[in-house]
Amino acid sequence: MLRDFENWFLKQDEPAQSCLLSLRKHILQVDPTITEAWKYGMPFFCVGKKMFCYLWRDKKTGWPYIGIVEGNRLDHPDLVQEKRARMKILPIDPNKDIPIKKIKGILKEALLFYPKIQ
Protein backbone atom coordinates (compact mmCIF):
# COMPACT_ATOMS: atom_id res chain seq x y z
CA MET A 1 0.00 0.00 0.00
CA LEU A 2 2.69 2.52 0.91
CA ARG A 3 4.53 1.50 -2.23
CA ASP A 4 2.00 3.40 -4.35
CA PHE A 5 2.20 6.23 -1.84
CA GLU A 6 5.99 6.46 -2.13
CA ASN A 7 6.00 6.05 -5.92
CA TRP A 8 3.54 8.91 -6.36
CA PHE A 9 6.01 11.34 -4.78
CA LEU A 10 8.91 10.01 -6.83
CA LYS A 11 6.99 10.53 -10.10
CA GLN A 12 6.50 14.26 -9.50
CA ASP A 13 8.78 16.71 -11.28
CA GLU A 14 10.79 19.42 -9.56
CA PRO A 15 10.23 21.81 -7.91
CA ALA A 16 6.85 20.24 -7.04
CA GLN A 17 8.42 16.98 -5.81
CA SER A 18 10.55 18.67 -3.15
CA CYS A 19 7.61 20.82 -2.11
CA LEU A 20 5.27 17.81 -1.80
CA LEU A 21 7.82 15.80 0.18
CA SER A 22 8.27 18.72 2.56
CA LEU A 23 4.50 19.10 2.94
CA ARG A 24 4.23 15.39 3.71
CA LYS A 25 6.83 15.69 6.46
CA HIS A 26 5.16 18.73 8.01
CA ILE A 27 1.64 17.28 7.87
CA LEU A 28 2.84 14.21 9.78
CA GLN A 29 4.45 16.47 12.40
CA VAL A 30 1.21 18.35 13.16
CA ASP A 31 -0.15 15.57 15.38
CA PRO A 32 0.93 12.03 16.27
CA THR A 33 -2.53 10.66 15.37
CA ILE A 34 -2.06 11.56 11.67
CA THR A 35 -1.19 8.56 9.49
CA GLU A 36 -0.62 8.03 5.76
CA ALA A 37 -2.97 6.12 3.48
CA TRP A 38 -3.32 5.53 -0.26
CA LYS A 39 -6.94 6.31 -1.26
CA TYR A 40 -8.55 7.16 -4.60
CA GLY A 41 -5.13 6.99 -6.28
CA MET A 42 -3.68 9.79 -4.15
CA PRO A 43 -1.73 10.27 -0.93
CA PHE A 44 -4.14 10.86 1.96
CA PHE A 45 -3.54 11.59 5.61
CA CYS A 46 -5.98 10.21 8.14
CA VAL A 47 -6.88 10.69 11.77
CA GLY A 48 -7.93 7.29 13.00
CA LYS A 49 -9.91 5.85 10.12
CA LYS A 50 -11.24 9.21 8.98
CA MET A 51 -9.76 11.08 6.01
CA PHE A 52 -8.13 14.34 7.12
CA CYS A 53 -6.29 15.85 4.16
CA TYR A 54 -4.49 14.90 0.96
CA LEU A 55 -1.81 16.17 -1.40
CA TRP A 56 -2.37 16.81 -5.09
CA ARG A 57 -1.41 19.16 -7.92
CA ASP A 58 -3.49 21.76 -9.70
CA LYS A 59 -4.20 20.83 -13.32
CA LYS A 60 -3.67 24.37 -14.65
CA THR A 61 -0.71 25.66 -12.63
CA GLY A 62 0.96 22.37 -11.63
CA TRP A 63 1.27 23.78 -8.11
CA PRO A 64 0.95 21.37 -5.21
CA TYR A 65 -1.94 21.84 -2.83
CA ILE A 66 -3.24 20.45 0.41
CA GLY A 67 -6.86 19.35 0.19
CA ILE A 68 -8.56 19.61 3.57
CA VAL A 69 -11.51 17.25 3.96
CA GLU A 70 -13.41 19.40 6.49
CA GLY A 71 -12.34 22.58 4.72
CA ASN A 72 -15.88 23.89 4.38
CA ARG A 73 -15.94 24.23 8.18
CA LEU A 74 -12.81 26.43 8.18
CA ASP A 75 -12.76 30.15 7.54
CA HIS A 76 -9.30 31.12 6.29
CA PRO A 77 -8.61 33.62 3.47
CA ASP A 78 -6.03 31.36 1.76
CA LEU A 79 -8.33 28.34 1.51
CA VAL A 80 -10.07 27.92 -1.86
CA GLN A 81 -13.40 26.11 -2.21
CA GLU A 82 -14.22 26.47 -5.93
CA LYS A 83 -16.88 23.87 -6.84
CA ARG A 84 -16.11 21.54 -3.96
CA ALA A 85 -18.98 20.93 -1.54
CA ARG A 86 -17.00 19.81 1.50
CA MET A 87 -13.31 20.29 0.87
CA LYS A 88 -11.16 23.35 0.46
CA ILE A 89 -7.61 23.49 -0.84
CA LEU A 90 -4.53 25.43 0.15
CA PRO A 91 -2.42 26.08 -2.98
CA ILE A 92 1.35 26.15 -2.43
CA ASP A 93 3.73 27.95 -4.81
CA PRO A 94 6.64 25.48 -5.17
CA ASN A 95 8.99 28.29 -6.18
CA LYS A 96 8.65 30.12 -2.86
CA ASP A 97 9.31 29.26 0.77
CA ILE A 98 6.59 26.99 2.11
CA PRO A 99 4.44 28.82 4.69
CA ILE A 100 4.88 26.12 7.36
CA LYS A 101 3.48 28.15 10.25
CA LYS A 102 0.30 28.97 8.27
CA ILE A 103 -0.12 25.35 7.16
CA LYS A 104 0.30 23.95 10.65
CA GLY A 105 -2.16 26.52 12.04
CA ILE A 106 -4.82 25.59 9.47
CA LEU A 107 -4.29 21.85 10.01
CA LYS A 108 -4.43 22.19 13.81
CA GLU A 109 -7.71 24.05 13.46
CA ALA A 110 -9.03 21.29 11.15
CA LEU A 111 -8.03 18.66 13.73
CA LEU A 112 -10.63 20.12 16.09
CA PHE A 113 -13.30 18.44 13.95
CA TYR A 114 -11.85 14.99 14.69
CA PRO A 115 -12.52 13.42 18.08
CA LYS A 116 -9.39 12.42 19.96
CA ILE A 117 -8.69 8.72 19.76
CA GLN A 118 -7.77 7.19 23.09
φ/ψ of residue 4, rounded to 5: -60, -40
103 within a domain of the structure (yes/no): yes
Convert the pLDDT of each residue in 85-99 to its tens digit.
889 999 999 999 999
70 within a domain of the structure (yes/no): yes
Enter the pTM of the model.
0.91
Query: Which of 113, 114, 64 minimizes the C-alpha distance to 89?
Result: 64
**Domain extent for 64:** 2-111
CATH number at residue 87: 3.90.1150.200
114: three-class secondary structure by DSSP: coil
Convert the pLDDT of each residue in 33-84 to its tens digit.
999 999 999 999 999 889 999 999 999 999 999 999 999 999 999 999 988 8
Task: Give the containing element (helix H, strand E) for 29.
Answer: helix 16-30
36 within a domain of the structure (yes/no): yes
116 within a domain of the structure (yes/no): no
93 within a domain of the structure (yes/no): yes
15 within a domain of the structure (yes/no): yes
117 within a domain of the structure (yes/no): no
Domain count, the chain: 1
46 within a domain of the structure (yes/no): yes
